[in-house]
A = this chain, B = another copy of it.
Amino acid sequence: MNAIDFYFDFASPYAYLAAMRIDELAARHDCTVRWRPVLLAGMLKVTGAVPSPLVPLKGDYVLRDLQRTARHHGIVYREPEQPVRLLLNAPRAMLWIEQKHGEDAAAAFARRCLQAYFAEGIDIDDERELRYLAGEQRIDGTLLTLGLRSETIKEAFKRQSEEAMRRGVFGVPYTITPDGEPFWGFDRFGQLEEWLAAARAVA
């Protein structure tokens, strides 16, 4: 089956909005989704960009745009209490789950974490919260904690972020179609869908 690569950062609200829609979009075009966590901070180092909420003038606008965009798409969005920051535990936990329980379990965990963070006020940088969330999927919390702290997993996450940049990923959400076309931003999902439909018509 054709797979769409979906790059996201657990700290990105626009990636959250995209994450709530990517599976159904892909399914409409007989595609699966490969969920790929990356570290946006590493990309911003290369591009020299600053997280939008911290940019003068732009910060207030972005908060307003997020609320409006979420409402427009019928998605619940509650601004996290914590300021913008690195979220490393969630992607590491996800990668450990991927290695031990497979891609589907990892994708379900990622979706659940994003919802918890951006709709339910749960701090997903807290290992205890991650254990609860994994527990909902009957994943062992103790093994998860050991796993996400391991050097192997830390390295795997770093490598995955670097590989994404080599493919040209410079921001999130970032989607690459089965035939290699890149789409940056939730606001390009209309064009992404059009692209997938056209590709199917040709096939």
Q: Which residues of A contact B (CB under 8 A)?
A: 43, 46-50, 55-58, 60-61, 64-65, 68-69, 72, 165, 168-171, 182, 184-185, 187-188, 190-191, 194
Taken together, the copies of this chain in the complex come to 2
> CB distance A58 to B194 under 8 Å?
no
> CB distance A61 to B191 under 8 Å?
no
A190 to B65, CA, bound (A): 13
Residues of B within 8 A of A69 (CB): 191
Residues of B within 8 A of A165 (CB): 57
In-complex Cβ contact of A168 among B47, B48, B61, B169 (8 A): B61
> CB distance B57 to A170 under 8 Å?
yes
> CB distance B168 to A57 under 8 Å?
yes
> CB distance A61 to B194 under 8 Å?
no
